[in-house]
Each structure stands twice: as C-alpha cells, then as structure tokens.
Amino acid sequence: MTALSQPIIKLENVFAGYEDKVVLQDVSLEVLHHDFLGVIGLMVVAKPPSCASYWA
C-alpha cells in the first residue's frame, strides 16, 4: 500500500455527545489523499460563515 492510498484521517465506530444527547453513533470515516471534505454546522467559537472546506 502506497502512502497516497493510506487514509490521512480515519475514524472507526465513533460515538459522541453532550449532556444526555447522542449526536454521533457508530460513525466511521476515511479521508484519502486528494479527497474533498466539507464540514457544515454551528461553530460556537467562530463568526459566520459556519462552513469549512478542506482539501487533503
């Protein structure tokens, strides 16, 4: 397996939440080199726009 075919971000079976609310349940994700990843949502510490894009 070459370095470009290995994931640069890999999450497996992630669970996350706050207080008594589950917001992620059993989530898996792989981002490979040259993949495009967009994240949209509320960003409490940042001012609008609340959208971020990342190129790997």
Tokens read off for 11: 């999450």
Task: Name the band, by pLDDT with cuts 50, 70 and 90, for residue 46.
Answer: low
The reported pLDDT for the residue numbered 48 is 53
52 pLDDT above the threshold of 90: no
18 pLDDT above the threshold of 60: yes
Closest CA to 27 of 8, 13, 7: 13
Provide the residue range defining the domain that includes 47: 3-55
Mean pLDDT of the 4-31 span: 92
Q: Pick the more confident residue, 2 or 20.
A: 20
Tokens read off for 27: 């989530």
3-state SS class at 4: helix
Domain count, the chain: 1
The reported pLDDT for the residue numbered 2 is 74
The reported pLDDT for the residue numbered 43 is 64
